[in-house]
Amino acid sequence: MEHEKHWYALYTKPRWEKKIDTVLLKRGIESWCPLNRIERQWSDRKKVVEEPLFKSYIFVRINLVDKVKVLSVDGILNFVHYVGKPAVIRDEEINMIKHYLSEKEAIVSLMAKEGFEESTKVCVKHGVFMGKEGTVLKNAKKKIFVKLESLGQVMVVEFPAEYLEPMY
**What is the secondary structure of 67-87 as a DSSP string?**
HHHHHTSTTEEEE-EETTEEP
Mean pLDDT of 114-130: 61
Ranges in the chain annotated CATH 2.30.30.30: 108-166
Reported in sequence order, the residue ranges of the chain that DSSP labels E, i.e. its strands, are: 6-12, 30-32, 35-41, 46-52, 57-62, 76-79, 81-82, 85-86, 88-89, 108-112, 121-124, 133-135, 143-148, 153-158, 164-166
* Mean pLDDT taken over the chain: 79
Ranges in the chain annotated CATH 3.30.70.940: 6-89
Percent of the chain topping pLDDT 90: 36
Mean pLDDT of 105-119: 55
Tell me the fold of 6-89: Alpha-Beta Plaits (3.30.70)
3-state secondary structure of 91: helix
Q: How confident is the model at residue 114 (pLDDT cuts 50, 70, 90)?
A: very low
Q: Which residues on adjacent β-strands are paired with residue 66?
A: none
Q: Which residues on adjacent β-strands are paired with residue 75?
A: none
Tell me the fold of 108-166: SH3 type barrels. (2.30.30)
Q: How confident is the model at residue 17 (pLDDT cuts 50, 70, 90)?
A: very high
